[in-house]
Structure 1
Amino acid sequence: MIEAVGLTKRYGDKTAVYNLSFQVRPGAVTGFLGPNGSGKSTTMRMILGLDNPTAGRVTIGGYPYRRLPNAPRQVGALLDAKAVHGGRSARNHLLSLAQLSGIPARRVDEVLGVVGLHEVARRRSKGFSLGMGQRLGIAAALLGDPQVLLFDEPVNGLDPEGILWVRNLMKSLAAEGRTVFVSSHLMSEMALTADHLIVIGRGQLLADMSVTAFISANSADFARVRTPDTEPQQREKLSAAITEAGGHVLPEQDGALRVTGLPLPRISDIAHDSDVRLWELSPHQASLEEAYMRMTQGAVDYRSTVDQKEGLQQPLPPGAQPPVPVPGQGQPGWYAPPPAPPGGQPFAPPQGAPARAPAGPYGAPGAPGAAPGAPAPNPYAQPAPQAPQGPPPAVPPAAAPASAPPAAADLTKPEDAR
């Protein structure tokens, strides 16, 4: 069993943990919850003797961690899965830990099989993915077959199959009578794994109770009631009857009613007595995430603010499209060839071409009345910005450069045509 009494830790003028007292009992998975910066990691480090408390004490089985005989065989922990020498293989990493603690080498192969790394046991850990590193860290925690286990974010980086495996592992360890203390930010996973919760905020204890009691204490259960949508008068009739019976009714956006203060059988009786047909009558209980958010909303240090750019960009009118600026468009000598036909080569004006309108896209002739040597209009191009009134400047054939400009030259590459 882990027991903390008046645990306090200060770093200079900052208090990370203040007067924290709790017990982690064997035979159950105890979840350790709290916002970022609430002191969870600091508390775990003090449990393992990595940090000395400024005040108070924390013991494991009645002894501080540093006074436990052969502590690695009594306590296993995963705090940082990256705390591995990258040049060592998974097996050599665990083998070095086993030799330091007097653990038989055969145990290394056993835990590698438990965590599913036996096929990559001789690979260097620096090539491991985040999930593989987590599995290696769990293997190190299980190496000494300890009775007390601490895990900090054990499912970080695991795939759904790995998360399910960790969940079943935690439950099986607790079922064997071990003390399992798990810190996590995944509320959905804690709801499925933990039996008991310890919640802290800004270094202080907020809750120490079972998961069921925590949800019940930090949420408002209600009944969802729905009447036929085609008969709104029935909804109004039922709402008045429930209010008269002492219930509280709030309308929801989809037309249903949220009823609090009355049990479901009583609501059913009221609807029957009022001759109101019900399409839905269902209980609603808050999730662990909803209860947690309600409990810790005053202990969150890092909150997002509204984007300061909001409102600077006005929406365009319906159907309006912003013009696409084309560098050099509308300037004397500007040239853009028409798109190439499907499967053909991009258009490039040959040297010494006759003064005629080139063929448009898909072999169509150029626009009637176009100036000699002027390209055919591109039906897919965005409209050019309005130019001053007057005839557009035409480029005579003699003024055409001997070689195509860079833009046209780039477009003659087959890869650009695709």
Structure 2
Amino acid sequence: MIEAVGLTKRYGAKTAVYNLSFQVRPGAVTGFLGPNGSGKSTTMRMILGLDEPTEGHVTIGGQPFRQLSNAPRRVGALLDAKAVHGGRSARQHLLCIAQLSGIPARRVDEVLGMVGLQDVAGHRSKGFSLGMGQRLGIAGALLGDPEVLLFDEPVNGLDPEGIHWVRNLMRKLAAEGRTVFVSSHLMSEMALTADHLIVIGRGQLLADMSVKDFIAHNSAGHALVRTPDDPAQREKLSKVLSGAGAGIQPEQDGALRVSGLELPRISDLAHDAGVRLWELSPHQASLEEAYMQMTNSAVDYRSAQDPGQGFGQAAPHGPEAPAQSPGRHQPPYGSPQPVPGMQNPYARPAAPPPAAEVPAALPPAAPAPVPAAATTPTKPEDAV
């Protein structure tokens, strides 16, 4: 079990983690969620003894990581899949770790087979793709057959087959009674993999509960109601449900999103009003929606609300469109403002002045006289 008590980490004036307390229990996959910069990586580094807490403490099985006897055989971790010597083969990399930890060499071949790298075990890791590097990092975490495992973004770069494999691996390890702590930004994967969630924002604890409770506490379910394609029927039902205290939101496909009423109550009200229903189905918010709702105020790096913001408008067409020379550089984001004293790099050059008219016929030019000193002798006796 992993236990953090009052965990705080400061880097100068920056507080990365503040008064963080939680437990990661064995037998379940615990997801570790939070926006970028929330302190997840710092917390995992303190768990593994890579960073010293400013205040508080964190233990694994009741002891700090640095005091564990033969820690690599008790704790396996993947924090950075790129932390590999590129000149070593996959087998050499794992063999070095095994020899330092007293792990038999045969275990290296076992984990290479588990992660699917047995066919490239002799290849240098610098030629591995991102997904292959992730598999090698997972193999290193599994090398000592540990009871506690920590993974930071384990599915990064994996294809769908690899993601499915990691998901099943995490659940299998937890089913064996191990402690599995997984940090990820993929809410869809966490919804399928994790049993419990620890959510932090700006270094502080926001939630410590099961996935089911987390969704229930941070979102509101609704019912999707669909009537025959009759605006009058739909309007009638909307008035009846609104009068009963329901919240009504029309969908683009003509359905109604109804909140605040249970499905049997919606059905009874529709029946009493004489409105036929083609669909009446419950809908629960996803983990992603619940997560966005909870962490909305804890996001430090927020993107533009409009995905197209920052991109220039399409160039006008037709007779009013400015002519453009092929290959001429155009300003990427609108017309820049001119700076006094500086030539505008996007300004089109002024048209050259019209050339003077040339007469239709010109008299033949007289040959220019050749200086005597420049004449060239044609015979040897002429040169005397």
Q: Who is 2:221 aligned against?
A: 221
Contact 2:315 2:321 in 1 (8 A): no
Q: Which residues of 2 match residues 36-75 of structure 1 at below 5 A?
A: 36-75=36-75
Q: Which residues of 2 match residues 349-360 of structure 1 at below 5 A?
A: none
Q: Who is 2:285 aligned against?
A: 286
Q: Who is 2:169 aligned against?
A: 169
Q: Which residues of 2 match residues 315-326 of structure 1 at below 5 A?
A: 316=316, 323-325=323-325
Q: Who is 2:193 aligned against?
A: 193
Please give the secondary structure, in 2, of the residue aligned with 1:170.
helix
Q: Who is 1:10 aligned against?
A: 10
Give how far 1:132 is off. Answer: 0.7
Q: Who is 1:181 aligned against?
A: 181
Return the alpha-carbon distance in structure 1 between the equivalents of residues 279 and 264 of structure 2.
13
Which stretch has the larger CA shift, 248-257 or 12-21? 248-257
Give how far 1:321 is off. Answer: 6.5
Return the alpha-carbon distance in structure 2 between the equivalents of residues 124 and 288 of structure 1.
39
Return the alpha-carbon distance in structure 1 between the equivalents of residues 326 and 352 of structure 2.
14
Return the alpha-carbon distance in structure 1 between the equivalents of residues 112 and 87 of structure 2.
18
Amino acid in structure 2 at the alignment position of 1:262: L
- Structure 2 residue runs of 5 or longer lacking an equivalent are 328-350, 362-384
Give how far 1:256 is off. Answer: 2.0
Return the alpha-carbon distance in structure 2 between the equivalents of residues 254 and 140 of structure 1.
50
Question: In structure 2, do the counterparts of structure 1 residues 312 and 116 end up closer, same or farther at CA, with 3 Å as the change threshold?
Answer: closer
Amino acid in structure 2 at the alignment position of 1:26: P
TM-score by length of 2: 0.82
Contact 2:222 2:284 in 1 (8 A): yes
Q: Who is 1:270 aligned against?
A: 269
Please give the secondary structure, in 2, of the residue aligned with 1:15.
strand
Return the alpha-carbon distance in structure 2 between the equivalents of residues 312 and 136 of structure 1.
43
Amino acid in structure 1 at the alignment position of 2:270: A
Amino acid in structure 2 at the alignment position of 1:295: M
TM-score by length of 1: 0.75
Return the alpha-carbon distance in structure 1 between the equivalents of residues 319 and 182 of structure 2.
55
Give how far 1:246 is off. Answer: 2.7
Amino acid in structure 1 at the alignment position of 2:250: P
Amino acid in structure 1 at the alignment position of 2:210: S
Higher relative contact order (CA 8 A, sep 6+): 2
Give how far 1:248 is off. Answer: 2.2
- Structure 1 residue runs of 5 or longer lacking an equivalent are 328-385, 397-418
What is the percentage of aligned positions where both structures have the same residue? Answer: 78
Which stretch has the larger CA shift, 86-95 or 245-254? 245-254
- For the aligned residue pairs, the C-alpha RMSD in angstroms reads 2.6
Return the alpha-carbon distance in structure 1 between the equivalents of residues 288 and 303 of structure 2.
19
Q: Who is 2:26 aligned against?
A: 26
Question: In structure 2, do the counterparts of structure 1 residues 319 and 276 end up closer, same or farther at CA, with 3 Å as the change threshold?
Answer: farther
Give how far 1:250 is off. Answer: 2.4
Give how far 1:305 is off. Answer: 3.7
Give how far 1:254 is off. Answer: 3.0
Q: Deviations over 1:104-130 (max 9, x none)?
A: 111111111101111111111111111
Which stretch has the larger CA shift, 113-122 or 314-323? 314-323
Please give the secondary structure, in 2, of the residue aligned with 1:182.
strand
Which stretch has the larger CA shift, 168-177 or 263-272? 263-272
Q: Who is 2:160 aligned against?
A: 160
Q: Who is 2:347 aligned against?
A: none
Q: Who is 2:372 aligned against?
A: none
* 2:247 paired with 1:248: yes
Q: Who is 2:364 aligned against?
A: none
Please give the secondary structure, in 1, of the residue aligned with 2:81.
coil
Return the alpha-carbon distance in structure 2 between the equivalents of residues 267 and 68 of structure 1.
59
Question: In structure 2, do the counterparts of structure 1 residues 107 and 279 end up closer, same or farther at CA, with 3 Å as the change threshold?
Answer: same
How many aligned residue pairs are there? 334
Return the alpha-carbon distance in structure 2 between the equivalents of residues 217 and 300 of structure 1.
19
